[in-house]
Amino acid sequence: MSGTYAQALGAAVVVLEHRYFGGSSPYDGFNSETLQYLTMEQAAADVVNFAQNVAFPFDKEKTSPWVYWGASYSATLGSWIEHFHPGVFYAYHLSSATVEANTDNWFYYDTIRKGIDSYRKDTSCSLALNEVAKFVDSFLLASPTNQTKVEALKQLFGATFPIADDDFAYAIATPFRNWQETGGYRDVLEMCDAVVGSSDTSEDKVLGTIPASVANYAAYFRMNLRDSTCTYFDVWGQEDPLWCLNTHDLLNPFFEARTLGNPWRTWYWFLCNEPLASWATGAPDGQPSIVSRKINSQYWQRQCEMHFPPQNGQTYGSSNGKTPESLNRETGGWLRNSTRVIWTTGEFDPWRATSMSSEARPGGPLQSSDNVAVFLIKNAEHANDAFTVRALNNLKIKVNPEVVKVQEQSVEIMKKWVGQYLVGKASA
């Protein structure tokens, strides 16, 4: 999309590498001491410093406006820049930005549930997935826990190596993380076909009657997902195919690797330190849930200490009293005032609840005005407007005409705003 804007505006595209990502790090190792300079303020200031001081041969007098484009976290970063450094960038297009952090983001999976129902045009799959979650939790959340039944449950899903109950719950929920990847919803819908494909129940001498939905989901996980779950992280291989999900072992390379080769670590620092948090969790009681309620905010927050134990008296923000609420007060959250910002979010973006189009926002989703344009893109997921038709065709991903429509409208709005700037400059 940045190239589309450049063509429409006659502009140059500048891509910056983020501090502590890629090769841009002042340290070789990442721990609670060396990561103290990876903050919201510092990241925003890097971009501002570049924009204010770089000298381009085609703009020696610095009369051209800066336009910011970002998707997902880079959109969140753009929202911080717009809030804390107004005027540096003249206009923004922020796709799927998290503007209101929270602790229990159960809406993440619930938005996927709604998307499944909409795309399939029925509720059979989401109801089956809810049945799977209830069956799993009948053992994982039982009091007292019957360890024999819990182990039999894990074996059913192919978890043949020792794995903690909460890690197991997340392991069998990992298919849903594909939803926010470009075109990844197709993988989830394919899984749905398997989950509802048979109505045959089965009997187990330990677990009793196993509903068809559970048997189908377990079989699909064993055959298609178990062995590839940890290759998603593209890091160190182990004999246990679910090794990377062991969040109780400090010697797990996933926690031990504190080098530039572990970008997940630097992202997790933002979640723990600012803290952006917004942990994806099971739905509260009384709401349908397609994942186990064993996946809660404590599960994720506990990993902050695993990743970032105290180092020379330094630690991460959420262990020192910082909360998502304190972050929202600092950034303005949902209620910030913005100028010349295009906010875009997919109807079925798992992060929609943290965006300006959240139904939980006081007063409802933000509406367009003279200063802002807000688009909730029908039948779209996470940052879908980042990809042009040509890019999607190259990836062999179906083009959503609603996305194309918003892209075209966004370009016209941006051309109007930049045109106003240039007229003002000419008459000054």
Q: pLDDT value at position 61?
A: 85
**CA distance readout (Å), 407 to 1, 7, 264, 384, 414:** 8, 13, 30, 10, 10
Question: pLDDT 10s per residue in the chain (428 long)?
Answer: 999 999 999 999 999 999 988 777 888 889 999 999 999 999 999 999 999 999 999 998 888 999 999 999 999 999 999 999 999 999 999 999 999 999 999 999 999 999 999 999 999 999 999 999 999 999 999 999 999 999 999 999 999 889 999 999 999 998 898 899 888 899 999 999 999 999 999 999 999 999 999 999 999 999 998 888 777 555 555 677 887 888 998 877 777 777 666 667 889 999 999 999 999 999 999 999 999 999 999 999 999 999 999 999 999 999 999 999 999 999 999 999 999 999 999 999 999 999 999 999 999 999 999 899 999 999 999 999 999 999 999 988 899 999 999 999 999 999 999 999 988 877 76
Q: Cα separations (Å) of 323 from 148, 149, 295?
A: 39, 38, 20
Degrees to nearest 5, angle at CA 47 with 73 and 84: 80
Domain assignment of residue 19, yes or no: no
pLDDT of residue 203: 95
Closest CA to 78 of 7, 4, 16, 6: 16
The tokens describing 240, both together, are: 């246990």
298 found inside a domain: yes
In eight-state DSSP terms, residue 127 is H
Residue 29 domain-assigned?
no
Asked if the structure places residue 355 within a domain, the reply is no
Q: Which amino acid is at 287?
A: Q
Flag whether 109 is in a domain. yes
Backbone angles phi, psi at 265, to 5 degrees: -65, -45
Residue 311 lies in a domain: yes
Structure tokens that stand for 405 in this block: 């429509």
What is the secondary structure of 292-338 as a DSSP string?
Answer: -TT--HHHHHHHHHHH---BTTB--GGGGT--HHHHHHHH-GGG---
User: What local confidence, expressed as pLDDT, does residue 236 receive?
Assistant: 54
232 sits in the region (left: phi over 0; alpha: psi -120 to 50; else beta) called alpha
The alpha carbon of 135 is separated from its chain's Cα centroid by a whole number of angstroms, namely 27
Number of domains forming the structure of the chain: 1
Compute the distance between CA of residue 40 and CA of residue 395 in angstroms, rounded to an integer.
33
Domain membership of residue 93 (yes or no) is no
Closest CA to 210 of 289, 106, 131: 131
Domain that includes residue 264, residue range: 102-320
Burial class, 211, CB count within 10 angstroms (exposed 0-12 / middle 13-18 / buried 19+): middle
**395 strand-pairing partners:** none
**Residue 147 covered by a domain:** yes
SS3 378: coil
pTM of this prediction exceeds 0.85: yes
Which sign does the torsion angle of CA 419, 423, 424, 428 carry?
Answer: positive
The pLDDT value recorded for residue 261 is 62
Alpha-carbon gap, residue 124 to 102, rounded angstroms: 30
